[in-house]
Amino acid sequence: MAGNDVAHKRRFLVLHDYGMGGSWWWVRARSAREVLEGLAWVEVITDPETVARFEREELEEADIDASQMTSGLDALRAERDAQRGREGFGVLADRGIVYLRRRWDEEGEGPVDYLMEVGADGRRLRQVEVPESGAALRSGPDDWSFNPPVVDLFDPALAGQEISRSAFEEQWTRAHPVDPDR
């Protein structure tokens, strides 16, 4: 039986993008979805040029069903295993665009709600910062130095942060553009 499972697997290029860089692996699995369901905070890269470029690289390779994962992937699998079975696991994963409200409370700055329009890869498309006092600011990819994934759409905690598109658009319309010199 295990031999049949292996025959149905193929190699996927997988990236864990942490903002200022990333870790890359080849992961053998039956589907890209299986990779995403099995490993937290990863993307399956499908761009043909990127895949071709990494074909020549000597990346570590792992099997999604292995009892032990290679370094780096082990923690990402452990995180996913802890999420699986919790209410809300993966409910946002199959959506093209998701709207979220996340509260941040940094010392000295006061609480701020971040309303985010997020793509299927977990990257922000647009964002509105809504402080408790002061004017809301809107921003997009041209305003950000880099744009790594900010959410993992399989994370069950995100289900409680979802808002409607109309709630996001209402705040987007009211907000001022971010000052590029800020």
pTM for the predicted model, two decimal places: 0.87
C-alpha torsion 12→20→128→135, nearest 10: 180
Distance CA 133, CA 105 (A): 13
Per-residue pLDDT of 77-118, as tens digits, reads: 999 999 999 999 999 999 999 999 999 887 767 789 999 999
Share of the chain above pLDDT 70, in %: 93
**Hunting for tokens 């790594």 — which residue is that?**
148
Q: Are strands 10-17 and 43-45 parallel, antiparallel or unpaired?
A: antiparallel
* Cβ proximity of 14 and 39 under 8 Å: yes
pLDDT value, residue 1: 43
Distance CA 180, CA 161 (A): 28
Q: How confident is the model at residue 20 (pLDDT cuts 50, 70, 90)?
A: confident
- Mean pLDDT on 61-86: 96
The residue ranking higher by pLDDT, 1 or 93, is 93
Per-residue pLDDT of 134-144, as tens digits, reads: 789 999 999 99
pLDDT at 43 over 70: yes
What is the phi/psi pair of residue 75, to 5°?
-70, -35
* Cβ proximity of 164 and 156 under 8 Å: no
C-beta pairs of 56-63 under 8 Å, 24+ apart in sequence: 57/24, 59/24, 59/25, 59/26, 60/25, 60/26, 61/11, 61/25, 61/26, 61/27, 61/28, 62/25, 62/26, 62/27, 62/28, 63/6, 63/9, 63/27, 63/28, 63/29
pLDDT value, residue 56: 86
